[in-house]
Amino acid sequence: MADKNERIINRGMPNNINAENAVLGAILIDDKAADMLIPALKKDDFYLAANRTIFDVMKDLQERSVPIDTVSVSDALDKIGKLDEVGSISYLSELAEGIPSAANCEYYADIVRRDSLSRKVIEAGNEIAKHGYESENGAAALEKAEQIVYGIAEQNSQKALTPASEALVMAINNIQDLQQGHVVKNIINTDFPHFDHMTHGLKPGEIVLLAARPSVGKTALALNIAANSALNHGKKVAVFSLEMPADLLAKRMLAYVSKVEFDRMNTVGGMSSGDFAKLFKAYNALLAADIYIDDYSLNSPSDILSKCRRMKREKGLDFVIIDYLQLMSSGGSTESRQVEVSSMSRKLKVYAKELGCPILVLSQMSRDIEKRESHTPQLSDLRESGAIEQDADVVAFLSNPSKYNSALPADQVILDVKKNRNGAIGEVKLKWDSNTTSFMEYEDQDVEFGKPNEEYVASEDAEKKAKKAAEKGAKEAGVKLNDGMVEAPKKPVPQAPAPEKLVDGNNFENDSKLEKLENVASDLQDVLGAEELPFGDFDDIPAPSDDDVPFDEEYVDDGDGDIEY
């Protein structure tokens, strides 16, 4: 039995160097693998010191939007004086050449993460055992064990809890910017005034769902919004079309921007010199705009995320459009199509937050609208999944009332905002021009813009007035402003905890807050490399004697068993 225990103690820490090398090699040879793996791993997940150093450099390169390959990584290592330490450029070449394809890189990453977590658990077990022997009571040992275990959970979590103060400061400063007339850079304005007024612009991390029955114009409206945001506001837009080829989408945008009708374009000799002038001006404008189109029909949510990550790193990314959800596949097998669509909807919401930009997702409606007498869209009309309704921040429907009521104008289309987490809901009347695939708002809308007080209507001195109002309000509320903005409150400096009295006279911190594992276990490297645990066998521990009791001047033992304070 003793031999078995000795073999367990002497066993090496869990690791798989081949898997680590495969992960690093995949990052070196494939940008898609780099976008997928680097955010999902941490430096400390790697067991080999050289691999930790290389991954740390790769992560830094990605954050600086520098392409990752053997040349860039070796140059970065050389600059910090660690190229020879990791085995020079020859080791990097071996990593890149040692993996023929990055197809299985996620599987290799799972192995690296698995072994990393196992090592942390083993290190925690050693640390807990050490404190168990050294603590003077079981309660103190239990508290320390909890700190260590929760430290592992905190490290393994993708994102820890953060104080609300950080979000509050950001929110109130954004409000001040808006009051001063500063346009928020990462807000997408569609240039449909009433819709923008209702949504206050499309915001980073939002999922905006636009649903309609076939041939109502949801793709055309999405392309109108893409052209408006790119041409009028300089936004970088990615359009993923799972239905139409890229050249047809481009033709629609040319018609919208130039206002040259399709009938003229498609008729032999139908365009005049003036039409060509308009068309070429539109061509030049769209050519200079940052609009990117992907018409691959088999894109999955993961494919879209990978392509968006790469675009954001290389060119920047402000807005994503997906046409449309029901044509997308998750790439795996699921129990039903509803479950699959629900899963994809949830992923897109997570991706919108990660990319830091709004995603406009087009969707089909069910036929239920045809069966109702009112023919008014409802949230339950979203096809194949109710999860779309839950995940979206804004849900809007396009419908053509003249289809059910011939007395209404045939070119009138209703944009009906049924859900809006950050604003009002209601209808916006649009005029549809099928010959140029263009939408524009009717002037006689049922919903009127709210009018601010005349004192604060935007003018040349709007910023000055807003700053003055903010300073006065802050003074009344006792809030300190720095250059007109709120500062995040300083975190209080933690007080040193009272030292824990230990049997052997050493002092260990008894801190009540959670501690990160690398801080707790930073002094255990010698322990982990030892052939046996430092505290030896159980039988070798002597019983405590009177000499082990620490001296304290606050009490005196007179020998009768009673302590006088």
Enumerate long-range contacts of 449-455, CB under 8 Å, 24 or more apart.
Answer: 449/193, 449/194, 449/197, 450/197
The amino acid that residue 427 corresponds to is E
Starting from the edge strand earliest in sequence, which strands make up the sheet with 359-364, in order?
291-294, 237-241, 319-323, 359-364, 207-212, 394-399, 412-420, 426-433, 438-441
- Cα separation of 437 and 430, whole Å? 12
* Residue ranges with strand state E in 243-287: none
The two counts, helices (H) then strands (E), for the chain are 22, 13
* Residue ranges with strand state E in 365-519: 394-399, 412-420, 426-433, 438-441, 481-482, 485-486
- Taking a C-beta distance cutoff of 8 angstroms, is the pair 295, 244 a contact? yes
Residues 6+ apart with CB under 8 A from 422: 199, 200, 203, 393
The amino acid that residue 12 corresponds to is G
- Other CB atoms closer than 10 Å to residue 54's CB: what's the count? 28
Q: Nearest Cα to 226, choosing from 286, 313, 314, 311? A: 286
Question: Quick one: tokens of 174?
Answer: 């954004």
The DSSP symbol for 152 reads H
Q: Nearest Cα to 212, choosing from 438, 416, 432, 419? A: 416
Q: List residues with catalytic annotation.
A: 243
- Cα separation of 178 and 522, whole Å? 47
- Taking a C-beta distance cutoff of 8 angstroms, is the pair 360, 323 a contact? no
